[in-house]
């Protein structure tokens, strides 16, 4: 079940998307940084509850993730603010 914006999950095993390895599948469980950051990700098409696969890790810390047939590019700040768990 998808969680609404602002839902918080800080359970064991959660970590920043920035630490996920290429090829790893993770589920978005929380977005740090306030409502604006959550709404920005939602406007891109990503939301809490989505499962994504890390496609590319850029040297500067950004990530390219794929959800379904869509790829999303996240800068270092965004990838650090998205909290995930392994799937």
In a domain, 2, yes or no: no
Question: Is 3 part of a structural domain of the chain?
Answer: no
pLDDT at residue 8 above 70?
Answer: no
CATH code for the domain of 75: 2.30.30.90
pTM: predicted TM-score of the whole model, two decimal places: 0.85
| Predicted pLDDT of residue 10 | 56
- Structural domain containing residue 30: 15-86
Asked if residue 5 belongs to a domain, the reply is: no
Is 79 part of any domain?
Answer: yes
pLDDT tens readout for residues 51-63: 999 999 999 999 9
Looking at the structure of the chain, the number of domains it has is 1
If we measure between CA atoms, which residue out of 1, 3, 16 comes closest to residue 82? 16
Residue 80 domain flag: yes
Please state, in angstroms and rounded to a whole number, the distance separating the CA atoms of residues 68 and 78: 20
pLDDT one-digit tens code per residue, 10-40: 567 999 999 999 999 999 999 999 899 999 9
10 falls within a domain = no
Residue 57: inside a domain: yes
pLDDT confidence tier of residue 5, bands split at 50, 70 and 90: very low
Asked if the structure places residue 8 within a domain, the reply is no
Pairwise pLDDT comparison (14 vs 3), residue with the higher score = 14
């Amino acid at each position: 079940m998808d969680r609404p914006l602002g839902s918080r999950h800080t359970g064991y095993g959660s970590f920043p998307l920035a630490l996920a390895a290429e090829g790893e599948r993770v589920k978005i469980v929380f977005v740090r940084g306030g409502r604006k950051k959550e709404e920005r990700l939602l406007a891109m098409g990503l939301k809490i509850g989505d499962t994504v696969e890390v496609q590319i890790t850029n040297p500067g810390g950004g990530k390219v993730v794929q959800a379904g047939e869509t790829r999303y590019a996240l800068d270092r700040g965004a990838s650090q603010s998205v909290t995930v768990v392994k799937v």
